[in-house]
Chains A and B, each alone.
Chain A
Amino acid sequence: MWNTIMDFFPSWTVLIQGLFILVVPVAITIAVKWLGLKEGQMSRRGIKAAGRKGGGVPSAQKPGEKVQKGTPSSGGNRDNVQTNTGFGKEEEASGEVFTGRFQEDLQQFKDITRDMSDVSVREFYIGPLKIKAALFFLAGLTDKEGMDRDILKPLMYADRPFEGMTIAPDAASLKDILVHQVILVSEIGYTDHLMKSLQKVLFGTAVLMVDGMKEVFVLGTPKGRTRGGEEPVSEALLRGPRIGFNETLSDNTSMLRRHGKTTELAMISFTVGKRVQKELVLAYMKDIANQELVEEVERRIRTIDIDDVQESGFVEQLIEDNYLSPFQQIQNTERPDRVMAALLEGRVAILLDGTPFALIMPVTFSMLLQSPEDYYDRWLPGSLLRVLRFFAAFISLFGPSLYISFLSFHPGLIPTKLVISILSSRQGVPFPTLIEALIMEVSIEILREAGLRLPKPIGPAMGIVGGLIIGQAAVEAGIVSPILVIVVAVTAISSFSMPMYSAGITLRLLRFAVMFSAAMFGLYGVILFFLLLISHLIKLKSFGVPYVGVVVPYRINDWKDFFIRLPLQFMKRRPALLKPKNPIRKG
């Protein structure tokens, strides 16, 4: 009897297999939790989010204050950026201030700029009364021509405003006269704080100090070296606007404005970076974007606590949901039209000074495979290209692993005639398929990396040398089989067809993981990996929006713009996933 009962228990090998099936996911979960805990200890996101510690600060207000909703539209907002010189009154209270005694202040200023040779000082007299004044500016960043014409010249020739005066008027009326009658600059701000004024000077503004006045004028005359809006290299289109963001924030915001007239486009300015401060603009459509989403993004911007935000990639990495995921949860783009399209869907964009890359959030999986061209072209070609891209993504991810699993595990699944030719081509190849595929994949990745660094004229030549000659030579030498060369080449081409370069990198990265799991378990391993990937994707969220949101949770309405793009006539609603305030797009 015992024997019959024991027969029902599986043998120890089966039990161990079962154990692994149990242990692997549990171990992964534990590892991820542990990492999350570590991260929490290190950065204390929660505390910063509450505004108690450091973080990005809206320029228009003190830290800790509640963000005012529906910020006044563009013009006023941008003025705010320029005129508000303070970063918080408490800070201003500490530190040195201007005294109003000219020589003293001048000396003070020269002292703190002793080790900055590019800060220039120009002393002069205002008008016929010979009021002493000094202009601080930065050689190279300040628009000198404009400064000479609009500040120096009117100040020095200011006869009429002072007519009939024999002595210099008091500070208040002098300020009044200068602002209202003399200085020909639209952007004027005031500060009495020495360090703040230096900061402004270092950013390219001219600062005017007048004898007897405790405040200095901050005159907006910056002229950074800017670049025209050239067509973005990484996101070239056949059809669509040939303009891309550049490194100047005001240019970029104006590009968005110039897209079309709307009074609903909000741009909220933040200052990020503890040591090197930079301006960051949060853009969204006031009547479309979900309020909670905007608040969440603002909250996360406030948690940014780093000495210098060098590029928008820093912002991306600091505010994304899951930094362990291989998938990007924030999309970067150089195209203003792409940003505008996203804003109109109810998404939110972040622009950072000093980089042409804007960030769009939240991101769903399908966005990585969409190109603006899908919408610019008619719907049939657009849909065709999109289906093609899904297919290319599949190949790019699974190409080599399918090769490995078919050849090493399931020769029965290959058509007989192909088996015959593969058999012939694999004769004399000394390596197992995994090693063979790794050799080719790694070398093509190196080639690609090398191609990026090479000077432009050499790049294509390198591609030919690498792709054709090395591939051919490897086959001739019997290191790899010709079929593999095809597989690798198709895979490489497929990964280039991703409209988002960074999405292509994700797939390249995962491809190697699949290759290993295919080499260990064949198609079974590929399927296991696919399931792992899918379960990760389903769990992943970008700013509260499910990453594969169109599929899970299932929303048939949003499928109109998923694998295929239906005619615009059918797309009457914005993606419901983003819960926009105004769900109707047209009609």
Chain B
Amino acid sequence: MRRRRLILLLLTGGVLLSGCWSSSPIEDLNVQVGIALDAADETGMEKEFEQKGGKYPKRNKMTCTYQFIVPEGSSGSTRDGTQSKIYYNMSETGNSIFETIRELSLRTNRNPVGHHLKIIVIGESLARSTNLSELIDFFTRDNDIRLSVLVLVSKGKASEVLSQALPNQIPSLVLKGIYNNRDRSSRIGEPLSLAKLIGPLHGKTSFILQNVIASGKEPKFAGAGVIKGKTGKLIGFLNESEVEGLIWLTGRGKGGVLKIHDPESDKLITYEIKTIGSKIKAKMKGDDISFEVKIESTGRYIEMFVPGGEPLDESRIKEDEKVLEKHVKEMVQKTVAKLQGEFHVDAAEFGRTLHIQHPDVWNKVNENWDETFSHTPITYEVKIDIKDYGASGTTIE
């Protein structure tokens, strides 16, 4: 009987004493949604702290800006129309990202958690001077933070991007949401999550990172930064139309606009992209590598300014297709010229194509691929298929 009581006591004790094991109530958490990494630039508040003695040994290498969600309703309802900020940014300067986060715990009662981190924006000057893999190392090690976090670069200060948003919007979520517009615009590169970033950084291949800039109240996706695989550093930017060219080249677009003024008649042709596809073929002639790019697209007329109100017919379509094809070809060529001529990097995954199609050749050239690529001839073939005229069968009168 006594033994049974003992067992019962142990049992209840064991269950009850364990209490709320590793419980972390949601209302006690500070939910991070975005992080901006910049070259060291202490904020006024930090300077004040330091003046008053708030110091610890560190090298000022970078300034991390953390974006937290501010719960509404902590002081009554905000539904009365007042435009309030529902996020809050905190900056900390240091040389270890993790340390700066823990340093925040000295400033707020609620613990930062990274479950809901969506965006990491890296400032230009930091990205140019530091290997990216060093910057994302903490984020890939931490087990709270998901590998689906998207990484962007910013031409300028990254923290500014995180401080711009319309009322009742959270900048980080806005940035993440812009990626959903890839079917609207062909100037947004593929979203690059931490998971997808690790591969190229590890394999030392070059790639592009979406660039985001801020002005006034709104952020804008503007071109892309080019990361050189060898160094893992930012070496320059592609502008919007060059990114567009890259999208056409890789065929990874989901939709968007192709607009041109016909050089002969100076009339406007606006083509809505429905599908883009591209095939890259690596050709070997002896030891010489060359690529053949075939781009195909379907779509339709969406906006045409042609005086006279002529009806659209097959011959018009053929003509316009030619014009558009030429335009796309030029755009792609410009992009590749910049990659080959200015940056000397292959950010368009030609290397991967070669790797797949001619693995033996790839093994030979892979060491110094970026340089080899810069001298590789590439031929283009563009085919555009205008499927319909839109709802109206004629040009504008």
Contacts and interface: CB of A to CB of B under 8 A. Distances in A.
**Are A and B part of the same complex?**
yes
Interface of A: 20, 23-24, 27, 30-31, 34, 407-409, 411-414, 416, 419-420, 422-429, 432-434, 519-522
B25 A407 contact: yes
A425 B18 CA distance: 28
25 contacts: A20-B14, A23-B7, A24-B11, A31-B8, A408-B24, A409-B22, A411-B26, A412-B115, A414-B26, A416-B33, A416-B116, A416-B173, A419-B26, A419-B31, A420-B86, A422-B26, A424-B71, A424-B73, A427-B74, A428-B73, A432-B20, A519-B20, A521-B21, A522-B21, A522-B22
Given A408-B25, A424-B73, A522-B22, 9 more contacts: A412-B146, A416-B116, A416-B173, A419-B26, A419-B69, A423-B26, A423-B31, A428-B74, A429-B27
B118 A416 contact: yes
Contacts of B25: 407-408, 432-433
Nearest to B15: A520
Contacts of A409: 22-24
B10 interface: yes
A422 B24 CA distance: 14
Contact of A407 (B26, B74, B113): B26
Contacts of B74: 424, 427-428
Nearest to A521: B21
B15 A427 contact: no
Contacts of B24: 408-409, 411
Contact of B31 (A20, A411, A519): A411
Contacts of B71: 420, 423-424, 426-427
A31 B3 CA distance: 12
Contacts of B15: 520
A27 B113 CA distance: 39
Interface of B: 4, 7-8, 10-11, 14-15, 18-27, 29, 31, 33, 69, 71-74, 86, 113, 115-116, 118, 144, 146, 170, 173
A30 B4 contact: yes
A411 B115 contact: yes
A423 B170 CA distance: 15
Nearest to A417: B173
Nearest to B176: A416
A425 B23 CA distance: 19
Given A20-B14, A408-B26, A432-B20, A420 B69 contact: yes
A24 B14 contact: yes
A422 B22 CA distance: 20
Contacts of A434: 20
A41 to B, nearest CB: 15
A33 to B, nearest CB: 11
Given A24-B14, A427-B73, A408 B113 contact: no
A426 to B, nearest CB: 4
Contact of B18 (A407, A414, A423, A520): A520
A23 B11 CA distance: 8
A30 B10 CA distance: 14
A19 to B, nearest CB: 9
A434 B72 CA distance: 23
A424 B72 contact: yes
Contacts of B22: 409, 522
Nearest to B1: A34
A408 B31 contact: no
B11 A412 contact: no
Given A412-B115, A423-B69, A520 B27 contact: no
B23 A408 contact: yes
Nearest to B86: A420
A519 B22 CA distance: 10
Nearest to A407: B26
Given A27-B7, A520-B20, A412 B116 contact: yes
Given A34-B4, A520-B20, A522-B22, A423 B27 contact: yes
B26 A412 contact: no
Nearest to A517: B15
A411 B24 CA distance: 8
Contacts of B146: 412
Contacts of A411: 24, 26, 29, 31, 113, 115-116
A24 B118 CA distance: 42
